[in-house]
A and B are shown apart, each in its own frame.
Chain A
Amino acid sequence: MINLIKNELYKLFHKPSVYILMLLIVIFNFIGIFGYKLLVTDDSTSATINQMNISTYETLLSTLDPSNSADVGTYVEYKVTYELLKFENDHSFKSTSSEYYYIENNIKSDLTKLYTAQYINKDDEGVKEAQAQYDKDVDFLLNNYDWKVLVNNEITKDNSMIKLLDESTDSTQIETIKMDIVSLQYRLDNNVPFSQTDASTDLSGYSSAYSTYSSYSTDEKTFATRDQLIQKRTAEKNYKLLKYRIDNKLITNDESYGNSYSSLNMFKGAFTSISFIIVLCVIIISSSILTEEFNKGTIKQLFIRPYTRSKILTSKVLAIFITVLLFILVNALSGVIISAIVNGSIKTLADPILVYSFISHEVIKMNVLSYSLLTFLTLLPEYLMLTFITLLVGALTTNGASSIVGGIGLYIVSSIFEAYATIKWVSFVPTMNWNLSGFLFGGISEYQYVTLGKSIVIDVITIAALVIGTYIVFDKKEIKNQ
């Protein structure tokens, strides 16, 4: 058997198709990672965009008449944006900086108040007040800027809010404010100013994550629809994970935080999901390894040997598995390496992966290897179904195009059925059950009628049928005249 498998791999790797597919995988990774880097971190392009926008708004403003009550609301809106853009253009702060955030929030609100007072309310006192506030804030920004002051202001506000609320108030409200204070304190202790970074956004969302989570009942039986249950679980997971990150100081202003193309995520992604290029690889390899031999007649070279047909087929199946695994590894490694080169660091690989378990209702820490392997196993039914539908159609028709259509057809059909998941019988369709990753750590399927036990049974029956069908067809195949 080993020799048969060696032969199959030898034939596969002496053809260009395997290498072309690997190259495609690497290219796709490169485009994804490099594109993300350009999009997210390049501020020079936004300067050009800003210039364009400034002249656009100039034109827009010239078309509106602020003395006209129908236009004035829009006028104020545009004027605020216009002045803001000019301001940002004059003082170039990086879009991820806390100063930029201050401009987009505080300065913007100051301008809004100013122009509302000026054009809508036509209130001179209000204008004076607003202008003074604006000048004060700009001065703070340009001369005395210290983000910690802003954070401390918020803490003070929260504390006075708590004092105001008496004991008869719902304790959740008080807890929510306390959570906010925790997140603010975290900022001070760990140097995370208000900004547009993922770290700051996560921290800002902490208190609302808590209040959303507390709004749901903990008794899952009370949820009528699957959607509601998923909302409750998502809220629980979000809050608990944030809490864990805060408690363990895992939220940092590091560029790698929240980078979906970090080395860690590139490695993980190769095992935890099946991208379309990998689906193509599985189908193309499964198709060619069988149908090409029938079409070129070389299958006879395999059949007139002292091996049963089952053994010949098994060697091809194992060769497919080995080659697909290789594609997955190429995907993982090229992703890690390109990410390390583009982002300048590979150390995210050592970061732990945080998973929320609905069994223990706690956050579990795992290293990327174990997590990837575990999730990969839950995707095996999908890999097996795609492989064997292609092989079965290939054995039946001995036609390469038909077998590829068989495989891709199944893949396309799977997404069609997903759209109709609310119909009960659709949950019996094998492709609705081929991804078991949702059930990890006590999870549930997003589809109403899909459960773990049922999925496993359907997967086993489907795969067994495809495998047995393929072996029987292959065994009984009559070699017709060429």
Chain B
Amino acid sequence: MTVQASPAIKVGGLRKAFGKTVVLDGIDLDVPAGSIFALLGPNGAGKTTTIHILSTLLLPDAGEVTVGGADVVRDPEAVRHSIGLTGQVSALDKQFTGEENLQLMADLCHLGRTEGRRRVRELLDLFEIGEIAGRPAMTYSGGERRRLDLAMTLVGRPRILFLDEPTTGLDPRSRRVMWQIVRGLVADGVTVFLTTQYLEEADQLANRIAMLDHGRIVAQGSPAELKRLVSGGRIRLEFGDEAALDRAASVLRVDDVDREALALSVPNDGGTRALRAVLDRLDAASIEAAGLSVETADLDDVFLALTGHDAHEATEKVATR
């Protein structure tokens, strides 16, 4: 992995407990500037707590947390200058219109009258909420509200953006719009730290993923690296008799043989070239396989393999409000 001179976010030995409940049990994270980092885990894993500590809403019990080069405990004010947070609870004034909400942010970011107006316009266009900008936010749909919420976070052009489950509860189309926006931001040099329960989302968006389970990071790396953790994909071959199986095992040099099923598995990176190579070698040795199946690993497998349970399963349903 490329280690940058100044990572956007650096976390070492982070711990947090609420009373006797340990929520984060020694977390280490490294997020290079300008990348998308996904913190993946089921409900109750500690994702929101992590985001709240990184965004100065909560104090850690122990550990070093640096965001944008500033320590969240010693200099939260400096951290706040470089971050933006869109949480799970919509953080807007429902009684105000979309435009007024954005204008409020522009005023609080001290953008000045002209620049503030310009920025509000720009974001209304970017998020396609210009048409509803004059309506009170309480009349917005879930997707519209989420977009306004994110737009408000972006008014001050944060360099580091925290998104707590940005697409939970959104329909597939709104989800893709959100992904597009996030990718656009990263293209502009913003660092994005997001949490998600959706493996697909992490896979689609993130440069790096950390899997969080019961307050511990169980794996961390690029999506490809993580998938490799579960022995990648495999090609499973079945044979008509034991002799063919033995010959195939020696030709393909594999020990992973299932004698009862007369089958063996060959590691595979998921590409067709490796598959063809395996078949060519069998052909060359005149061995005929009775059956073939290709198993590809996805992040679900990784999560399951590392934690023994599904990432989607709501083990401890934690209230989000």
Q: Are A and B interaction partners?
A: no
